[in-house]
């Protein structure tokens, strides 16, 4: 492969290029009224539900194709704002049902999240009930036929599909039916493709762009990448396009699954077409690339090329993304040139920019250089924030220098910054991993009990495990009480085997007390501890503990059965 031009050269200033709008470019008015164009127009108005609904209405009134995807996208948009949710959501949902379209899972979850955020409790409950009713197949025979077809496809090879599907009642096929079956088969991409091919051979039915997009969403998985790109070529050859809603779902899925090459290639495809993603997408993809162990600068290069070709401007977010990739790869000279490019364009480096440099230097083992960055920031009037300090402290913890990490943690506090749960988790992990468990517990008490910082549940659980590992039961029990105060679920798993093996009867009683809120712990907790005492051969301690348990526990059937079984075993052994 030929050497790629350095990113700094790609990002050189081009004074003759004009500054384009920072909003998503609108679909051309010359575009035919395709389903993709309707979706694009609705998506571009996602922050203005009334206008998005108006676009939907105009499209439907003009006879333009209005697909299930358009209904779902409009419904999600209406749910995203409290005023439109209360005025338009339910009438539109009824209209959607009357048109034969159903709410897909993504729309359902997005609407629920919006209702919860807006405290629309009644709407939340009503939508849950509506969706559950639909999922049970109570809405129509068509849904039952689609579910039966999906089951047949899952259970049989492609060779036998024709005879299996012919008798189910799917024919004549409709676009809605095909999409419903594909949705049911989303966890079986190759089998879904077999159904897709069967459907296109049925008389009187032709796949539309909506069906192709539904198929693309199903194939966008690691196990079906070749089939996915073959389908994309088929879509292009048919003069159709990947719609913006499908693109967003696929791109998120690719990034979530660490399929960054696929995310970049899809981004390039969309940027070459009429329905371009927003400016934010390029930097987001570059950031995802940068999260890898060794970010692929070729992929960054490709995103930058396509971004500049379309937008003609280098945003601060794009430059930060490139800077992040370079620093993560240890290319600090090139990263410095990117910072200079920022300055030349009037973008001042901020905590985001400097934090990336601190992270990269720590990753490269240049801890002293990373510490100096904070001094340089202050000299330039950019006060290091909590994130910057956290990255520095994490770097020292990862390198094993936990003493310096604590030193800088203290320095940060002295500068007036308050730690958060993330930083507390970082430094406690560092301390415990270097056998400084008591120091970790003391710091936890200082920050949580005295400074009233609310920790992560996982932080408490890990610290309990480490305390028991070094035989600090009293401290672990105190931490268990703290979890109760924070209203975290009781974390009992490590206590049972520890107390049964190393603890006394009084330790077991203190454990039960630590779990007591208004009433004693559940009988199962007592039974588990008693069982483990028996497993360790500590029969007399188990008997003594039983005598000191509450009366309702001593008489509980499970406890009685446990002790009777032990008596039987003892009698048999003698």
Q: Which of 119, 145, 161 is the last residue of a domain?
A: 119
Indicate whether 530 pLDDT > 50: yes
User: For position 11, what pLDDT does the model report?
Assistant: 40
Question: Of the ranges 133-147, 354-368, 372-386, which one carries the lowest mean pLDDT score?
Answer: 133-147
Examine the pLDDT at 25 and tell me if it is beyond 50: no
Structural domain that includes position 57: 35-119
Q: Which residues have C-beta within 8 Å of that of residue 217, sequence separation ≥ 6? A: 186, 246, 249, 250
pLDDT at 571: 52
Tokens of 57: 């209405």
Q: What confidence tier does 569 reach under pLDDT thresholds 50, 70, 90?
A: low
Domain count for the chain: 2
DSSP code of 296? -
Peptide bond into 172 cis (omega under 30): yes
Q: pTM of this prediction?
A: 0.80
DSSP code for 447 = I
Between CA 271 and CA 179 the distance in angstroms is: 26
Range list of H helices, 259-350:
260-271, 281-290, 297-311, 316-328, 332-344
- pLDDT tens per residue, range 57-68: 988 887 766 788
Cα–Cα distance for residue pair 556/561, rounded to 1 Å = 9
- CB count in 10 Å sphere of residue 405: 24
Q: What is the pLDDT of residues 83-130, one digit of tens each?
A: 888 789 999 999 998 887 888 888 999 999 999 999 999 999 999 998
**Among 320, 321, 316, which Cα is nearest to 295's?**
321
What is the tens place of the pLDDT at every residue in 457-484? 999 999 999 999 999 999 999 999 999 8
Specify if 16 maps to a domain: no
Q: Return the pLDDT at 71.
A: 92
Are 448 and 420 spatial neighbours (Cβ–Cβ below 8 Å)?
A: no
- Last-in-domain residue among 119, 154, 178: 119
Residue 52 inside a domain? The answer is: yes
- Per-residue pLDDT averaged across 26-55, rounded? 78
What would the pLDDT profile of 331-342 be if each residue is shown by its tens digit?
999 999 999 999
- For residue 533, being part of any structural domain is answered with yes
Q: Among 147-151, 330-334, 563-567, which range has the highest average pLDDT?
A: 330-334
Q: In the predicted model, is pLDDT for residue 46 greater than 50?
A: yes
- Does a structural domain hold residue 21? no
pLDDT in the model for residue 567: 65
Q: 503 lies in a domain?
A: yes
Closest by Cα among 427, 390, 436 to 406: 427
For residues 76 and 248, the answer to whether their CB atoms sit within 8 Å is: no
From 119, 146, 168, give the residue that closes a domain: 119
Tens digits of residue pLDDT in 397-434: 999 999 999 999 999 999 999 999 999 999 999 999 99
Rounded CA-CA distance 320/47 in Å is 26
pLDDT bracket for residue 174 (50, 70, 90): confident
Which of 33-37, 121-125, 345-349, 434-438 has the weakest average pLDDT? 33-37
Looking at residue 570, what is its pLDDT? 57
Quick one: pLDDT band at residue 18, thresholds 50, 70, 90? Answer: very low
What local confidence, expressed as pLDDT, does residue 12 receive? Answer: 38
DSSP states of 31-96: S---HHHHHHHHHHTTT-HHHHHHHHHHHHHTT----HHHHHHHHHHHHTSHHHIIIIIHHHHHHH
Q: What is the mean pLDDT of residues 27-44?
A: 72
Whether residue 412 is contained in a domain is answered as no
Please state, for a pLDDT cut of 90, what percent of the chain lies above it. Answer: 64
Confidence of residue 32 (pLDDT cuts 50, 70, 90): very low
Query: Could you tell me if residue 478 is inside a domain?
Result: no
pLDDT at 27 over 60: no
């Amino acid at each position: 492969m030929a050497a790629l031009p350095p990113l700094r050269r790609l990002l050189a200033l081009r004074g003759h290029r004009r500054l384009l709008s920072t909003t998503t470019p609108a679909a051309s008015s010359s575009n035919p009224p395709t389903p993709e164009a309707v979706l694009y127009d609705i998506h571009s108005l996602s922050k203005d539900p009334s206008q998005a609904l108006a676009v939907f209405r105009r499209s439907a009134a003009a006879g333009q194709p209005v697909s299930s995807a358009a209904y779902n996208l409009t419904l999600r948009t209406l749910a995203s704002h409290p005023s439109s949710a209360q005025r338009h959501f339910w009438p539109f949902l009824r209209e959607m049902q009357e048109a034969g379209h159903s709410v897909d899972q993504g729309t359902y979850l997005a609407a629920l999240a919006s209702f919860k955020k807006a405290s629309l409790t009644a709407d939340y409950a009503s939508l849950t009930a509506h969706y559950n009713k639909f999922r049970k197949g109570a809405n129509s025979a068509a849904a039952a036929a689609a579910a039966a077809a999906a089951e047949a496809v899952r259970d049989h090879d492609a060779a036998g599909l024709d005879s299996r599907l012919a008798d189910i009642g799917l024919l004549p096929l409709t676009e809605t039916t095909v999409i419903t079956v594909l949705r049911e088969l989303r966890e079986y991409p190759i089998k879904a493709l077999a159904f897709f091919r069967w459907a296109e051979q049925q008389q009187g039915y032709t796949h539309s762009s909506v069906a192709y997009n539904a198929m693309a969403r199903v194939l966008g998985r690691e196990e079906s990448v070749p089939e996915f790109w073959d389908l994309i070529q088929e879509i292009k050859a048919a003069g159709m396009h990947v719609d913006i809603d499908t693109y967003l779902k696929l791109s998120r899925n690719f990034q979530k699954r660490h399929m960054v090459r696929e995310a970049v290639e899809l981004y390039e495809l969309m940027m070459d077409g009429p329905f371009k993603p927003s400016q934010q997408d390029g930097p987001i993809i570059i950031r995802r690339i940068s999260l890898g162990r060794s970010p692929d600068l070729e992929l960054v290069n490709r995103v930058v090329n396509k971004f500049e070709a379309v937008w003609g401007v280098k945003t601060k977010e794009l430059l930060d993304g490139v800077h992040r990739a370079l620093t993560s790869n240890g290319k600090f000279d090139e990263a410095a040139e990117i910072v200079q490019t920022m300055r030349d364009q009037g973008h001042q480096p901020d905590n985001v920019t400097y934090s990336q440099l601190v992270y990269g230097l720590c990753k490269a083992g240049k801890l002293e250089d990373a510490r100096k960055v904070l001094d340089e920031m202050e000299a330039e009037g950019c006060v290091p924030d909590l994130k910057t300090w956290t990255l520095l402290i994490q770097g020292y913890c990862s390198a094993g220098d936990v003493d310096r990490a604590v030193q800088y943690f203290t320095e940060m506090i002295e500068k007036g910054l308050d730690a958060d749960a993330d930083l507390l988790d970082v430094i406690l992990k560092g301390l415990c991993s270097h056998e400084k468990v008591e120091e970790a517990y003391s710091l936890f008490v200082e920050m949580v009990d005295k400074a009233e910082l609310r920790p992560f549940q996982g932080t408490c659980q890990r610290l309990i495990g480490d305390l028991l590992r070094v035989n600090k039961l009293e401290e672990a029990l105190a931490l268990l009480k703290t979890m109760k105060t924070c209203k975290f679920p009781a974390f009992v798993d490590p206590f049972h085997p520890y107390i049964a093996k190393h603890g006394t009867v009084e330790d077991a009683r203190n454990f039960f007390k630590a779990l007591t809120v208004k009433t004693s712990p559940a009988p199962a907790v007592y039974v588990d501890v008693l069982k483990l005492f028996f497993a360790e051969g500590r029969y007399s301690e188990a008997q003594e503990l039983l005598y000191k348990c509450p009366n309702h526990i001593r008489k509980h059937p499970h406890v009685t059965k446990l002790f009777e079984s032990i008596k039987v075993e003892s009698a048999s052994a003698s």
